[in-house]
Structure formats: C-alpha cells, structure tokens
Amino acid sequence: MESSPGNYKTTSTADADDIKERQRLYDQRRRARDRLSRSHQIANDEQLWTSEDFPYESDFMQTKKLMPERGRLAENLFRKGSLRDEVGMLIMDDLVKLLRGNKS
C-alpha cells in the first residue's frame, strides 16, 4: 500500500497555538496546585487537609474511595477495644480481604 504525501496530517499554526495554550493552562494549574499544597503543608490545621476544596488527594485517599476496607481500617485500626467485638471482627475481615487481594 503506497501512501501519498497528501495523506499525512500536518500541524497547522492554529493547532500549534492550541497545543501551546493547553500546555500553558496545564502549567498554570500545576503551579496553583503546588502553591496550595505548600501552603497546606506549612499549616498544621488538620481541617485544612481534609477540606472539600483542597484539590490534592493522596494515593491513599483515592484508593480509600475505591476500597472501603482501607477506609474502615484507617478509621478503626488504632482504636482501643477488643478484636472480638463488632468493630474488631470487621477490622480482621478487612485485613484478610486486603491480604487475599494482594496475593491474587
């Protein structure tokens, strides 16, 4: 199959301008996110880190939404209590589920 020069797509100046503009916007958003992240790092207020308007979510926070076991473990693992009560049994079940999931 022969291809003629007319089949190749060339980048016009408008496309190049669109790409530059898109990159500029990405860079601007990244810088704003970095600035906000640095200001939150300096602040010791835990409420700032958990606010809904904070644009950064750690990998754990994202995974917690997809895997409710991790969220329950994060909330309950270091609480005082017995492993034989309802919360303790739930923690053990979540640990087993996570360990089985990692081996498969």
Q: Which residues 6+ apart lie within 8 Å of 64 measured at CB?
A: 70, 71, 74
Average pLDDT over residues 55-70: 76
- If pLDDT is split at 50, 70 and 90, which confidence band does 2 have? very low
Sign of the torsion formed by the C-alpha atoms of 47, 50, 54 and 58: positive
CA distances from residue 85 to 73, 79, 89 in whole angstroms, order as listed: 15, 12, 6
And the tokens for 8?
Answer: 């190749």
Mean pLDDT of all residues in the chain?
Answer: 77
Q: Does 103 score more than 70 pLDDT? A: no
